[in-house]
Amino acid sequence: MTNLTPANLFNLTDKVALVTGGGRGVGAMFSEGLLGAGARVIICSRRQQQLDEAVERLSGLGPVEAIAADLSSEQGCQQVVDELNKRCDRLDILVNNSGASWGAPLEEFPDTAWSRVLDLNVKAVFQLTVGLLPLLQASASADDPARVINIGSVQGLQAPEMENYSYSTSKAAVHHLTRVLAKKLAPQHITVNCVAPGFFPSKMTAKTLEDHGDQVIADTPLRRVGTPEDMAGVLMFLAGRAGAFCTGTVIPVDGGYATTL
Protein backbone atom coordinates (compact mmCIF):
# COMPACT_ATOMS: atom_id res chain seq x y z
CA MET A 1 0.00 0.00 0.00
CA THR A 2 1.32 3.45 -0.85
CA ASN A 3 2.07 5.98 1.85
CA LEU A 4 1.21 9.43 0.59
CA THR A 5 1.39 11.22 3.93
CA PRO A 6 3.62 14.28 4.35
CA ALA A 7 5.45 12.41 7.10
CA ASN A 8 6.63 9.92 4.48
CA LEU A 9 7.05 12.21 1.48
CA PHE A 10 9.18 14.83 3.26
CA ASN A 11 10.81 12.85 6.07
CA LEU A 12 14.62 13.02 6.13
CA THR A 13 15.22 11.25 9.44
CA ASP A 14 18.75 9.79 9.67
CA LYS A 15 19.76 11.24 6.29
CA VAL A 16 23.23 12.78 6.08
CA ALA A 17 23.46 16.08 4.21
CA LEU A 18 26.32 18.37 3.24
CA VAL A 19 25.40 22.01 2.56
CA THR A 20 28.19 24.16 1.19
CA GLY A 21 27.85 27.75 2.30
CA GLY A 22 25.28 26.42 4.74
CA GLY A 23 25.80 28.85 7.57
CA ARG A 24 24.22 32.03 6.24
CA GLY A 25 21.81 33.43 3.67
CA VAL A 26 20.03 30.95 1.45
CA GLY A 27 22.40 28.21 2.65
CA ALA A 28 21.20 28.66 6.22
CA MET A 29 17.61 28.32 4.99
CA PHE A 30 18.56 24.98 3.44
CA SER A 31 20.32 23.85 6.61
CA GLU A 32 17.36 24.76 8.81
CA GLY A 33 14.93 22.95 6.52
CA LEU A 34 17.02 19.78 6.45
CA LEU A 35 17.49 19.80 10.21
CA GLY A 36 13.77 20.34 10.73
CA ALA A 37 13.04 17.29 8.57
CA GLY A 38 15.34 15.11 10.67
CA ALA A 39 18.64 15.12 8.77
CA ARG A 40 22.15 15.30 10.15
CA VAL A 41 23.65 18.38 8.50
CA ILE A 42 27.29 19.22 7.83
CA ILE A 43 27.99 22.77 6.66
CA CYS A 44 31.17 24.13 5.14
CA SER A 45 32.59 27.50 4.16
CA ARG A 46 35.89 29.35 4.39
CA ARG A 47 35.66 31.14 7.73
CA GLN A 48 35.83 29.12 10.94
CA GLN A 49 34.30 31.89 13.08
CA GLN A 50 31.21 32.12 10.87
CA LEU A 51 30.90 28.33 10.96
CA ASP A 52 31.15 28.27 14.75
CA GLU A 53 28.44 30.91 15.02
CA ALA A 54 26.22 29.01 12.58
CA VAL A 55 26.65 25.72 14.41
CA GLU A 56 25.73 27.40 17.69
CA ARG A 57 22.67 28.98 16.08
CA LEU A 58 21.48 25.83 14.33
CA SER A 59 22.33 23.21 16.94
CA GLY A 60 18.99 23.59 18.69
CA LEU A 61 17.28 22.25 15.56
CA GLY A 62 19.23 19.01 15.26
CA PRO A 63 22.68 17.47 14.74
CA VAL A 64 24.89 19.93 12.89
CA GLU A 65 28.65 20.16 12.42
CA ALA A 66 31.06 22.13 10.26
CA ILE A 67 34.10 21.85 8.00
CA ALA A 68 36.20 24.93 7.17
CA ALA A 69 37.55 24.89 3.61
CA ASP A 70 37.94 27.14 0.57
CA LEU A 71 36.01 25.39 -2.18
CA SER A 72 37.32 27.71 -4.90
CA SER A 73 40.46 25.55 -5.05
CA GLU A 74 40.88 21.89 -5.91
CA GLN A 75 42.75 21.43 -2.64
CA GLY A 76 39.83 22.88 -0.70
CA CYS A 77 37.35 20.53 -2.37
CA GLN A 78 39.62 17.57 -1.62
CA GLN A 79 39.89 18.70 2.00
CA VAL A 80 36.09 18.49 2.35
CA VAL A 81 36.04 15.08 0.65
CA ASP A 82 38.76 13.73 2.97
CA GLU A 83 37.10 15.11 6.10
CA LEU A 84 33.69 13.78 5.12
CA ASN A 85 35.15 10.33 4.55
CA LYS A 86 36.48 10.42 8.11
CA ARG A 87 33.09 11.34 9.55
CA CYS A 88 30.58 9.43 7.39
CA ASP A 89 30.15 6.10 5.65
CA ARG A 90 27.59 7.56 3.24
CA LEU A 91 26.17 10.85 1.99
CA ASP A 92 22.47 11.04 1.19
CA ILE A 93 22.18 14.70 0.15
CA LEU A 94 24.74 17.08 -1.34
CA VAL A 95 23.68 20.72 -1.64
CA ASN A 96 26.14 22.68 -3.78
CA ASN A 97 25.25 26.17 -2.59
CA SER A 98 28.54 28.09 -2.08
CA GLY A 99 28.86 30.92 -4.55
CA ALA A 100 30.37 34.30 -5.31
CA SER A 101 29.27 37.28 -7.38
CA TRP A 102 30.96 40.28 -8.95
CA GLY A 103 29.48 43.45 -10.38
CA ALA A 104 31.27 45.97 -12.60
CA PRO A 105 30.61 47.91 -15.81
CA LEU A 106 31.28 46.05 -19.04
CA GLU A 107 34.38 48.01 -20.00
CA GLU A 108 35.86 47.65 -16.51
CA PHE A 109 35.02 44.00 -15.81
CA PRO A 110 38.30 42.41 -14.63
CA ASP A 111 39.75 39.03 -15.50
CA THR A 112 39.85 38.11 -11.82
CA ALA A 113 36.05 38.40 -11.71
CA TRP A 114 35.88 35.45 -14.10
CA SER A 115 38.36 33.15 -12.39
CA ARG A 116 37.08 33.81 -8.87
CA VAL A 117 33.40 33.37 -9.73
CA LEU A 118 33.69 30.44 -12.12
CA ASP A 119 36.09 28.54 -9.86
CA LEU A 120 33.63 28.59 -6.97
CA ASN A 121 30.28 28.64 -8.75
CA VAL A 122 30.96 26.01 -11.41
CA LYS A 123 34.26 24.16 -11.04
CA ALA A 124 33.76 23.47 -7.33
CA VAL A 125 30.29 22.02 -8.00
CA PHE A 126 31.86 19.53 -10.42
CA GLN A 127 34.92 18.71 -8.31
CA LEU A 128 33.00 18.23 -5.06
CA THR A 129 30.32 16.09 -6.68
CA VAL A 130 32.89 13.84 -8.34
CA GLY A 131 34.96 13.59 -5.16
CA LEU A 132 31.94 12.60 -3.09
CA LEU A 133 30.58 10.03 -5.56
CA PRO A 134 31.68 7.01 -3.47
CA LEU A 135 29.76 8.32 -0.44
CA LEU A 136 26.73 9.13 -2.60
CA GLN A 137 26.88 5.69 -4.20
CA ALA A 138 26.94 4.12 -0.73
CA SER A 139 23.57 5.74 -0.01
CA ALA A 140 21.91 5.27 -3.39
CA SER A 141 19.17 2.80 -4.26
CA ALA A 142 16.50 2.59 -6.95
CA ASP A 143 13.69 3.46 -4.51
CA ASP A 144 15.65 6.09 -2.60
CA PRO A 145 18.31 7.74 -4.77
CA ALA A 146 21.12 9.83 -3.39
CA ARG A 147 20.48 13.50 -4.14
CA VAL A 148 22.70 16.22 -5.56
CA ILE A 149 21.00 19.62 -5.45
CA ASN A 150 22.81 22.48 -7.15
CA ILE A 151 21.93 26.10 -6.54
CA GLY A 152 21.64 28.19 -9.69
CA SER A 153 19.86 31.52 -10.07
CA VAL A 154 17.19 33.29 -12.06
CA GLN A 155 20.11 35.40 -13.28
CA GLY A 156 21.14 32.34 -15.28
CA LEU A 157 17.69 31.99 -16.86
CA GLN A 158 17.58 35.41 -18.52
CA ALA A 159 19.83 38.26 -19.55
CA PRO A 160 19.90 40.30 -16.32
CA GLU A 161 19.70 44.05 -16.01
CA MET A 162 22.61 44.03 -13.53
CA GLU A 163 26.17 43.97 -14.82
CA ASN A 164 27.21 40.73 -13.18
CA TYR A 165 28.64 39.05 -16.29
CA SER A 166 30.58 36.22 -14.71
CA TYR A 167 27.88 35.48 -12.13
CA SER A 168 24.94 35.12 -14.52
CA THR A 169 27.13 33.13 -16.93
CA SER A 170 28.26 30.83 -14.13
CA LYS A 171 24.70 30.13 -13.03
CA ALA A 172 23.63 29.28 -16.57
CA ALA A 173 26.57 26.87 -16.60
CA VAL A 174 25.38 25.32 -13.33
CA HIS A 175 21.95 24.74 -14.85
CA HIS A 176 23.44 22.88 -17.80
CA LEU A 177 25.98 21.00 -15.67
CA THR A 178 23.00 19.79 -13.65
CA ARG A 179 21.43 18.25 -16.75
CA VAL A 180 24.72 16.68 -17.86
CA LEU A 181 25.40 15.13 -14.44
CA ALA A 182 21.78 13.98 -14.11
CA LYS A 183 22.09 11.97 -17.31
CA LYS A 184 25.45 10.50 -16.31
CA LEU A 185 24.55 9.58 -12.73
CA ALA A 186 20.97 8.35 -13.14
CA PRO A 187 22.09 4.72 -13.75
CA GLN A 188 23.87 4.89 -10.39
CA HIS A 189 20.61 5.94 -8.66
CA ILE A 190 21.83 9.48 -8.00
CA THR A 191 19.53 12.33 -8.94
CA VAL A 192 20.88 15.76 -9.82
CA ASN A 193 18.55 18.76 -9.73
CA CYS A 194 18.92 22.51 -9.51
CA VAL A 195 17.11 25.27 -7.63
CA ALA A 196 17.19 28.72 -9.25
CA PRO A 197 16.35 31.26 -6.53
CA GLY A 198 15.00 34.69 -7.26
CA PHE A 199 15.47 37.48 -4.76
CA PHE A 200 15.84 36.33 -1.16
CA PRO A 201 17.34 38.42 1.66
CA SER A 202 21.05 37.53 1.92
CA LYS A 203 24.47 39.15 2.03
CA MET A 204 24.76 38.73 -1.74
CA THR A 205 21.45 40.46 -2.50
CA ALA A 206 21.53 43.04 0.31
CA LYS A 207 22.89 45.90 -1.80
CA THR A 208 20.49 45.24 -4.69
CA LEU A 209 17.49 45.05 -2.39
CA GLU A 210 18.60 48.20 -0.55
CA ASP A 211 18.99 50.20 -3.75
CA HIS A 212 16.31 48.64 -5.95
CA GLY A 213 14.07 46.63 -3.63
CA ASP A 214 10.88 48.44 -4.63
CA GLN A 215 11.57 47.81 -8.31
CA VAL A 216 12.43 44.15 -7.68
CA ILE A 217 9.11 43.66 -5.90
CA ALA A 218 7.25 45.54 -8.63
CA ASP A 219 8.84 43.27 -11.26
CA THR A 220 7.90 40.11 -9.32
CA PRO A 221 4.38 38.92 -10.15
CA LEU A 222 3.79 37.73 -6.59
CA ARG A 223 4.91 41.18 -5.34
CA ARG A 224 7.36 40.12 -2.65
CA VAL A 225 10.81 38.65 -2.12
CA GLY A 226 11.32 35.06 -1.01
CA THR A 227 11.16 33.73 2.53
CA PRO A 228 13.02 30.89 4.28
CA GLU A 229 9.89 28.72 4.02
CA ASP A 230 9.87 29.16 0.24
CA MET A 231 13.47 28.01 -0.08
CA ALA A 232 13.40 25.20 2.48
CA GLY A 233 10.18 23.81 1.00
CA VAL A 234 11.55 23.17 -2.48
CA LEU A 235 14.73 21.67 -1.04
CA MET A 236 12.75 19.25 1.16
CA PHE A 237 10.75 18.21 -1.90
CA LEU A 238 13.88 17.41 -3.91
CA ALA A 239 15.63 15.73 -0.97
CA GLY A 240 12.69 13.63 0.20
CA ARG A 241 10.63 10.78 -1.18
CA ALA A 242 8.39 13.30 -2.92
CA GLY A 243 11.18 14.21 -5.34
CA ALA A 244 12.70 10.77 -5.91
CA PHE A 245 11.59 10.60 -9.58
CA CYS A 246 12.88 14.07 -10.52
CA THR A 247 16.30 14.50 -12.09
CA GLY A 248 17.84 17.04 -14.45
CA THR A 249 15.32 19.72 -13.46
CA VAL A 250 15.94 23.42 -12.88
CA ILE A 251 13.24 24.78 -10.57
CA PRO A 252 12.85 28.57 -10.38
CA VAL A 253 11.79 29.79 -6.94
CA ASP A 254 11.28 33.41 -7.85
CA GLY A 255 7.66 34.47 -7.52
CA GLY A 256 7.45 34.49 -11.31
CA TYR A 257 10.30 36.99 -11.73
CA ALA A 258 12.11 35.13 -14.52
CA THR A 259 9.51 32.69 -15.71
CA THR A 260 6.77 35.15 -16.72
CA LEU A 261 8.83 37.85 -18.43
Which residue numbers are catalytic? 167
Report the C-alpha dihedral over residues 144, 40, 128, 205, rounded to 10 degrees: 110
Burial of 156: CB neighbours in 10 Å, binned 0-12, 13-18, 19+: buried
Return d(Cα 16, Cα 168) in angstroms, integer: 30
**How many distinct helices (H) and strands (E) make up the chain?**
10, 7
Return d(Cα 157, Cα 259) in angstroms, integer: 8
Pinpoint the alpha helices (H) of 67-159.
74-87, 111-118, 124-131, 133-139
C-alpha separations of 139 from 16, 143, 145, 223 in Å: 9, 11, 7, 40
Residue 203 DSSP class: T
Closest to 146 (Cα-Cα) out of 252, 238, 67, 27: 238
Closest to 9 (Cα-Cα) out of 33, 39, 37, 40: 37
